[in-house]
Amino acid sequence: DTAVSQTPKYLVTQMGNDKSIKCEQNLGHDTMYWYKQDSKKFLKIMFSYNNKELIINETVPNRFSPKSPDKAHLNLHINSLELGDSAVYFCASSPTDVLNEKLFFGSGTQLSVL
């Protein structure tokens, strides 16, 4: 019944590897997001998709590539992982026509790059 679900919950990997995080929402929302929360708890938007179309790309390195196969899914693929990529990544979705309002967050994926 989880509204916004993302997998995996924990991801531990070596530098240089490629990894993916998956996100799905069953709320019928048109807009989905990826946020990054660093070790100091600072939340920052990475990407926003509206109906499978990229709306916001917030100066994220091109090693990060989001993919939205349909409006209920927004996956995040990361190439050549670096130590600085270690963070909690939150997927989110929102119900309104106005972007970034009333966000519903997933439970987060804690990525640790060793």
Q: Which residues bind other proteins (CB under 8 A)?
A: 40-45, 48, 55-56, 58, 90, 98-108
- Cβ-based nearer residue to other proteins, 36 or 71: 36
The DSSP annotation for 52-71 comes to TEEEEE-S--TTEEEEEEET
Dihedral of CA 8/9/12/16: which sign? positive
CB of 23 to other proteins, least distance (A): 12
- Cβ-based nearer residue to other proteins, 82 or 101: 101
- Cβ-based nearer residue to other proteins, 18 or 101: 101
- Cβ-based nearer residue to other proteins, 72 or 105: 105
CB of 44 to other proteins, least distance (A): 7
CB of 100 to other proteins, least distance (A): 5
Query: What order do you get walking across the sheet with 4-7 strand by strand?
Result: 4-7, 19-25, 73-78, 64-70
CB of 99 to other proteins, least distance (A): 5
How many helices (H) and strands (E) the chain has is answered by 0, 11
CB-based contacts of 22, cutoff 8 Å, min separation 6 = 6, 7, 73, 75
